[in-house]
Amino acid sequence: MNNKSNIPVYVGIDYHDSEIQVCVMDAGEKILFNRPCKNNWQEITRRVRRYGQVKRAGIEACCGAADLAEELVNCAGWNVDLAHSGFVSRMKQSRDKTDWGDARILADLERVGYLPQVWLAPEETRELRRLVRYRQQLVNERRNIKLRIWALLRENRLRNTLFRPWTKGWLNWLSNFDELGEQSRWILDRHLLHLASFSEEIHAVEDRLKLVTGDDVVVERLLELAGVGFVTAWMLRAEIGRFDRFRSGKQLSHFCGLSPRNASSGKRQADAGLIKACNPSLRAVLIQAAHRLMNHDRRWGGLAARMESAGKPKSVITAAVANRWIRWLYHQMQPNKLVA
């Protein structure tokens, strides 16, 4: 009987919450196994080990996949790659989408070394991401409440020019004036109650983030930079993680969605705005940081002034400053420049 324990095999895993599809392929592209399996690293390794030694395994990046990948790395000793779901979907040849086919393509891409990978962040970084994204969800909900309040005021043709919107004086006026109908007044009171609740929860999350990142060297270094506050530092730390995982500042800028998208064809040369493949919350934070830098930092304000004198639109100038700044930041955040 042939000993299969030393035969190199490649594994593709199509992830689902309850059950996953596991494909095992040898170096000659032969499918040895492609069946559903329980979402459990012990069950996966038990099924796979009978066919050989796992050389590399690929699992498509999605919610929950990183935790399973880390278990297979730490507990089973596998070499596991997280696959970029967008690039993998474009590389598939078949029009049909099945779990069997998805697992097979992942195994085959690992076999030939063409699997488009994303970074497998450590658990503490993933936990920080959950906290930062939870805060962003609350901020989005609070913004929606404010928009509903604005809509209610517009419907009733009400304005207050004595206070700036959303200041304490303006909110106090909003809570006490009696120029609304009975039902509109009741709705507005409910909106204000929800607004106060979300604001309180956001403050609680921010206190938690300060506690979690209190001794984080990267966050400390980011907070020393002009134009960077707690929210920007938390977002960069959570979404980027390690700056040295990128090969260049240009690659980091591309990851952040600040690189221009080319739409040239033949003799026609044109830009199509910024690339779309990015975390929109991360890009929004960097655009906001660029606005602050243009107004309060001589270096970046000078760059903005030169571009404005050349006739560039404001939106292009802001994106360009954010692009240049994140490239500059890449060099400032290398490990040899971080003080422990």
How confident is the model over 272-328, as pLDDT tens digits? 678 787 889 999 999 999 999 999 999 999 999 999 999 999 999 999 999 999 999
Gap between the Cα atoms of 297 and 140, Å rounded: 29
Confidence class for position 1, pLDDT limits 50, 70, 90: very low
Confidence class for position 264, pLDDT limits 50, 70, 90: low
Provide the residue count of the chain: 340
Q: How far is CA 89 from CA 29, 86, 208, in A?
A: 20, 5, 38
Q: Is 286 left (phi over 0), alpha (psi -120 to 50) or beta?
A: alpha
Contacts of 135 (CB under 8 A, 6+ apart): 202, 205, 206, 209, 234
pLDDT in tens, 174-221: 998 888 889 999 999 999 999 999 999 999 999 999 999 999 999 999
Gap between the Cα atoms of 10 and 2, Å rounded: 19
Q: Pull the structure tokens for residue 190.
A: 């409910």
pLDDT in tens, 44-72: 999 999 999 999 999 988 888 999 999 99
Residue 251, pLDDT above cutoff 90: yes
Gap between the Cα atoms of 97 and 279, Å rounded: 26
pLDDT in tens, 118-148: 888 999 999 999 999 999 999 999 999 999 9
The predicted pLDDT at position 84 comes to 85
Residue 78, pLDDT above cutoff 80: yes
Q: 52, 112, 105, 55: which is closest to 80 by C-alpha?
A: 55
Average pLDDT over every residue of 95-102: 83
Gap between the Cα atoms of 145 and 158, Å rounded: 17
At 36, give phi and psi (nearest 5°).
Answer: -70, 155
Instruction: Please answer whether residues 312 and 303 qualify as being in contact, where contact means their C-beta atoms are separated by less than 8 angstroms.
Output: no
Q: Which amino acid is at 213?
A: T
Contacts of 322 (CB under 8 A, 6+ apart): 258, 286, 287, 289, 290
156: burial class by Cβ within 10 Å (0-12, 13-18, 19+)?
middle
Contacts of 253 (CB under 8 A, 6+ apart): 259, 323, 326, 327, 330
